[in-house]
Amino acid sequence: MSIAVLGQVYDEVRRLSIAGSSVASGDFRLQKLIAPLEKSGEKAPVFKKVAEAVTRLVESTEKSSAEALLDLSTLVNAILYTQGQTGLEGELAPVTQVGTGILPKRTPSSILKTLNIALTQAGSGRLEVIQESLRREPFPDPRLLESAIDALDGTYHEVSDLVEEKILPQYGMAIIPLLREKYDLKGKAADARRLSVLHRVDPEGTKPLIHEALEDGSKEVKIEAISKLREPTDLPFLIEQSKAKAAAVRDAAFTALAEIESPEAAEVIVQGLTGKASLNHVRGGLTSRHPHVLETIISEIRKSSNKITTASPADRKSKPHVNECERLCGLIDALAERTDPQTESLLLELFGHRDQITKAESKDTVYRSEPKILQRMNECTDKTRELLIQEHESLDETGLKLAVMAAMQVDNPKRFYDLFHGYIENGKSASTKKRDARNKADLIATTIRNHVEYGHRYWHTDRTSEHQVAARRDAIDPRWLDLAIKHDEMVLLIPLARPGHKKSHDRLAAEMKKMLKAAKRPDYQIGDVLSAVLRSDHPQKVDLVIETIHAMVKWGHAYYFYMISDLIPRLPKSEAPRFEALLAELPDVMADRLIQSIAELKNKSEAS
Amino acid sequence: MISIDEDFIAAAAPNAAAANNGRGLVLKNKFVALHHSDDNTLLFGECQGSGKTPYHCSADFTNPAAVTYRCSCPSRQFPCKHSLGLLYAYVDGKSFTPAEVPETLASKREKAAVRAEKKKVDADKPRKVNKSALAKKIKAQLDGLDLLEKLTLDLVRLGIGNMNAKAARDIEKQAKRLGDAYLPGAQTALHHYTKLFFDEDEAKSSAQQERIYSEALDQLGRLHSLVKQGRIYLNSRLEDPELAPETESAIAAWLGHAWQLRELKDAGLVQTDVELVQLSFNSYDDVARREWVDTGTWMNLKTGAIQLTQNFRPYSAAKYIKEEDSFFQVAQVGELCVYPGDENPRVRWETMTMRPLAAGDFPKIQSFGHASFAEVIKKVKTQLKSPLADRLPVYALNYQQIGQVGDKLVAVDAKGERLVLTEQGLDEEPNTCNLLPMLPLPLLQQQTLIARFRHDLDTRKLEIKPLSIVSRDAIHRLTY
């Protein structure tokens, strides 16, 4: 069959259909095709039919041309549909596999569509949709990969971060070609993210890309690339970048140098530390653990403190003196979390001279070295902390707080109580004019509470943090709780109330009753008190939670329902029926907020 | 004994939200009474709503394959959250006490039983046709076809290149008269042409523009054929009012005939005791029909035919219509009604039960795959030459290997015949070829590919879009 001529007819039909059939009459291009069609028609009758249809069109009037054109196009299309080319010449090679093979998961289409929209389109609530979906483990599914990669380009950075850190790494090496296809080393934040994911899934294979980005990458991509350099062979480049004009690039380079514990890297940091530039210039390198850097920091601190204390009264108002004071504080900060003997020795030395340094410090800057010295001492060994504890009476409020923190870390609860309970006694019995004594009492109570409840938030708790809070509470001398009861100090009572302590239970119950009586809105501390009720295994805990729910309904205050729904699963499983019964009494809107937590309580595995 | 599980409730629910709300009612203890009938065929209860009196809901399992849900609430969702909650309460093991069926409910059940019986009797009775009304309707349809012809010829005279959004809207206004002439199918066919020109503000590349021209030309050919074939069909029915709708071709559906299950049964288009496995599922927005369409592609385990379920949800009523979703079990259908059509006819059923996929189902699906690509290609080409044929037929192909030639992926059969894989398929269908290199290598050898054929009018190539791969132990869905 002479398909070529048929193809020509199709092209002419298409042209006339685009232009309109009115111009078809007498069309000379079509007319020229009649003869070859008729010739082919001698062998295949279908060509004859086409020739006839072409003739009818060419000879049509303006009125009849439309139908003639349609007849011809329908006929030609029908023939061409039977002539579709299949197959492909050439050597067949196996499909170049990407990764080790991922299978599509058994996830319903509705969820895949919802996720696809959440990953690729704008609109509120997308992050929640994705986070919620993670419980169903829809990743890694090859069908969602493209959308997940597109999400790196999104403007909602929380979604992009989630995809970069949690979702895409699940795909492993399979994503490399797709990421590389879109990766632009001159690009913006999305390309930096692509580079980061590539490095997460294939650190070794991404090395050439990292080096390319370091050479020619945009600022964002370059910073990401620098953050990935940790090999000694990267040193020349990092050293070069440590002199970059852009602070972010320089910072990334110094941070990388700090993590490479080589003499060369340390030397660069040391040069930065001892050079003329400000300490800010080298701040990324201050975390280095290399001995040479540490020695230099210590030596620079000594030099700096000496310079400050020996400055003449006239010089103490000068700008260089202000800069030196700020530099000293920065250098002391660089000793954070160091417990080596050299550091401890220096800190003790500085502690001894703290009054002298404070006196010489410029008043034109907010930076003060004493609190920083005390803070670093609190991070040292018990021996150094001991000095802090012993000196508590001579310290100001900031220092006293650090001394209390140090005392709680030194494992001697009895001594801690003996040394510090006096502040509460004095403060609570002091007259109103003795504000300093009251402030110190409040500070002691708050510091103990912060220590016990560290990491705990009543609106979002987890089992681990609850256990840790209870463990820290139990490590505190029980006399503190009696003291709290004696002076009705709720700040202390809330973290320290413990199971079986009747007086504290009575006080908590009284406090709850008082709060629940409020006519319009809940006391902002109600979450803390209720949390203490549960943690202390209060005998009326279930009643108090239920009363609180009723009060919430009365107040119409939705926010605290989040707190309540977080607390309910911590109650005994046996109480689930009471809450199920309660749901029926609540307005639908309120009940909907508690359904999940009551279901969680009901489905608790442990028999509590 | 009523035997149901959470999967059963999820399948019965019109959407995920309704199921969640139903479960919520149980958790909120909103059911003030839970009962079952003495014969254990009915669950009924009272659910406290926002008003003073509770809603009376029930689930009637007289026919377990077609459970009847009733509720006194005003919800237009069916089954409503109260009926679903009742099922959840049962599955959760809540205490259902035996009780006498309330009089109103008993009377409804009796009426339903009478209706069911009458339906059975009516099913055996010959249908009475109001011949004069039918003749009047057919004449109106023929007038409608005259209008469609006039519009089509006007469009051809105008030329595709001169079409724009304004002209398309004008045509759509006139096309409404086709609906009045009992030709909704023809109206949709015209929409398929006009919709190509609605987004004229969107910048298009030259290739995109050329594709639109080719598609438009094809659509005009379809309209032309619809007029011709429709006229022949309607004239034949006008001459013989006793004549049933055409079952050999899809012309009745093209004109907009909404087949009733009874008509399909009367026409003998019914298969009994069939098991169906869903091979792929997609839901898309059909702008021309102004409906959401949930389409399931299924394999009939009895015949090996690939059949389609289509659930149409008009925009205006979408929230009241059950939204279909992927189905991962085997649907056991007592009576499967098959619409007239091509290779992949539409199917529907009134009742079904389900069972989990078993190990033996996958080899069975593979056994229905076509081993010879050449034979399938021939069948596809024969189908495509009909202007009103389904342009995107789906086949199961047993391939020896999926490999690549240059940057093109190809499937190869045992005789070395090749088919090129393409991303072009239905609108809104996600890309699937890009997934193949990510799959484990064994899946690219000697498996069964569920593929949608597509003839590209511009390149004149017949290629396939992969939808799923069936291996010896699973169905791997590539699309959604």
| Together in a domain, A579 and A591 | yes
Q: Which pLDDT score, from 0 to 100, does residue B439 have?
A: 93
Kindly determine whether residue A87 and residue B30, on different chains, have CB atoms separated by under 8 Å: no
Domain-terminating residue out of A380, A401, A431: A380
Domain-terminating residue out of A469, A496, A523: A496
Kindly determine whether residue A598 and residue B325, on different chains, have CB atoms separated by under 8 Å: no
Residue A572 lies in a domain: yes
Name the burial class of residue A183, with classes exposed (0-12), middle (13-18) and buried (19+) by CB atoms within 10 angstroms of its CB.
buried
ipTM comes to 0.84
| Interval A406-416 mean pLDDT | 90
- Contact indicator for A343, A351 with CB cutoff of 8 Å: no
Two structure tokens written together for A359:
């006196």
A312: left (phi over 0), alpha (psi -120 to 50) or beta: beta
- CB-CB neighbors (< 8 A) of B409 in chain A: 95
| Interval A7-33 mean pLDDT | 92
| Together in a domain, A318 and A406 | no
Side-chain half-sphere CA neighbours of A498 within 13 A: 18
| Together in a domain, A488 and A518 | no
Kindly determine whether residue B444 and residue A94, on different chains, have CB atoms separated by under 8 Å: yes
- Ranked by mean pLDDT, the top range of A390-404, A547-561, A588-602 is A390-404
Q: Which pLDDT score, from 0 to 100, does residue A410 have?
A: 86
Statement: residue A556 has pLDDT above 70: yes
Q: Which pLDDT score, from 0 to 100, does residue A608 have?
A: 46
| Together in a domain, A479 and A569 | no
Residue A556 lies in a domain: yes
Statement: residue A458 has pLDDT above 60: no
Structural domain for A558, as ranges:
498-603
A462: left (phi over 0), alpha (psi -120 to 50) or beta: beta
Statement: residue A463 has pLDDT above 70: no
Kindly determine whether residue A85 and residue B410, on different chains, have CB atoms separated by under 8 Å: no
Return the C-alpha torsion angle B264, B265, B270, B274, nearest 10.
110
- Of A82, A113, A583, nearest to B29 by CB-CB distance is A583
Statement: residue A465 has pLDDT above 80: no
| Together in a domain, A438 and A480 | yes
Q: Is A71 on the interface with B (CB under 8 A)?
A: yes
Using alpha carbons, select from A389, A485, A397 the residue that is nearest to residue A441. A397
Kindly determine whether residue A104 and residue B478, on different chains, have CB atoms separated by under 8 Å: yes
How many helices (H) and strands (E) in chain B? 12, 17
Return the SS3 of B443: helix
Question: Which of B28, B155, B223, B412 is the best substitution to test chain A (most A C-beta atoms within 10 A)?
Answer: B28
* B79 preceded by a cis bond (ω within 30 of 0): yes
Backbone angles phi, psi at B313, to 5 degrees: -120, 95
Kindly determine whether residue B418 and residue A88, on different chains, have CB atoms separated by under 8 Å: yes
What are the C-alpha distances in Å from A475 to residues A129, A413, A484, B119? 42, 7, 16, 78
Who wins on pLDDT, B7 or A308?
A308
Domain-terminating residue out of A380, A414, A434: A380
What is the Cα–Cα distance from A220 to A227, expressed in whole angstroms?
11
Kindly determine whether residue A583 and residue B444, on different chains, have CB atoms separated by under 8 Å: no
Two structure tokens written together for B210:
């050329």
**Which H or E run contains A346?**
helix A341-352
Residue A220 lies in a domain: no
Q: Is B381 on the interface with A (CB under 8 A)?
A: yes
- CB-CB neighbors (< 8 A) of B282 in chain A: 109
Residue A447 lies in a domain: yes
Q: Is A447 on the interface with B (CB under 8 A)?
A: no
Residue A192 lies in a domain: no
| Interval B3-21 mean pLDDT | 82
> How confident is the model over B344-361, as pLDDT tens digits?
999 999 888 888 899 999
| Together in a domain, A351 and A409 | no
- Of A69, A174, A595, nearest to B24 by CB-CB distance is A595
What is the Cα–Cα distance from A318 to A341, expressed in whole angstroms?
35
| Together in a domain, A473 and A518 | no
Q: Is A109 on the interface with B (CB under 8 A)?
A: yes
Q: Is A595 on the interface with B (CB under 8 A)?
A: yes
What is the Cα–Cα distance from A505 to A519, expressed in whole angstroms?
24
Residue A15 lies in a domain: yes
Q: Is A598 on the interface with B (CB under 8 A)?
A: yes
- Contact indicator for B47, B55 with CB cutoff of 8 Å: yes
Statement: residue A193 has pLDDT above 90: yes
Q: Is B138 on the interface with A (CB under 8 A)?
A: no
Kindly determine whether residue A109 and residue B480, on different chains, have CB atoms separated by under 8 Å: yes
What is the Cα–Cα distance from B201 to B176, expressed in whole angstroms?
25
> Chain B: residue nearest A140 by CA?
B438
Backbone angles phi, psi at B475, to 5 degrees: -110, 120
Residues sharing a CB contact under 8 Å with residue B375, sequence separation 6 or more, in sequence order = none
What is the Cα–Cα distance from A151 to A161, expressed in whole angstroms?
9
Q: Which pLDDT score, from 0 to 100, does residue A54 have?
A: 95
Q: Which pLDDT score, from 0 to 100, does residue A455 have?
A: 64
* A587 preceded by a cis bond (ω within 30 of 0): no
- CB-CB neighbors (< 8 A) of B164 in chain A: none
Residue A263 lies in a domain: no
> Chain A: residue nearest B428 by CA?
A113
| Together in a domain, A569 and A548 | yes
Residue A553 lies in a domain: yes
| Together in a domain, A482 and A536 | no
Q: Which pLDDT score, from 0 to 100, does residue A432 have?
A: 59
| Interval A308-325 mean pLDDT | 89
Comparing A432-436, B4-8, B106-110, B316-320, the range with the smallest average pLDDT is A432-436
What is the length of chain B? 480
Statement: residue B428 has pLDDT above 80: no
In DSSP notation, A380-391 reads: S-HHHHHHHHHT
Sort strands B329-338 and B270-286 into parallel, antiparallel or unpaired.
Answer: antiparallel
> How confident is the model over B206-216, as pLDDT tens digits?
778 888 899 99
> How confident is the model over A346-405, as pLDDT tens digits?
999 999 999 999 999 888 888 899 999 999 999 988 889 999 999 999 888 889 999 999
Who wins on pLDDT, B401 or B428?
B401
> Chain A: residue nearest B215 by CA?
A14
Statement: residue A460 has pLDDT above 90: no
Percent of chain B, pLDDT > 70?
99
| Together in a domain, A401 and A327 | no
Who wins on pLDDT, B476 or B164?
B476
| Together in a domain, A371 and A299 | yes
| Interval B8-28 mean pLDDT | 84
Statement: residue A7 has pLDDT above 60: yes
Kindly determine whether residue A84 and residue B381, on different chains, have CB atoms separated by under 8 Å: yes
pTM above 0.80, yes or no: no
- Of B154, B444, B480, nearest to A143 by CB-CB distance is B480
Percent of chain B, pLDDT > 90?
58
Q: How many domains does chain A have?
A: 4
| Together in a domain, A477 and A502 | no
Kindly determine whether residue B381 and residue A82, on different chains, have CB atoms separated by under 8 Å: yes
Statement: residue A553 has pLDDT above 90: no
Taking only residues 199 to 218 of chain B, the set having a beta carbon closer than 8 angstroms to any beta carbon of chain A reads 213-214, 216-218
Q: What is the residue-averaged pLDDT of chain A?
A: 88
Q: Which pLDDT score, from 0 to 100, does residue B241 have?
A: 67
> Chain A: residue nearest B411 by CA?
A87
Kindly determine whether residue A65 and residue B157, on different chains, have CB atoms separated by under 8 Å: yes
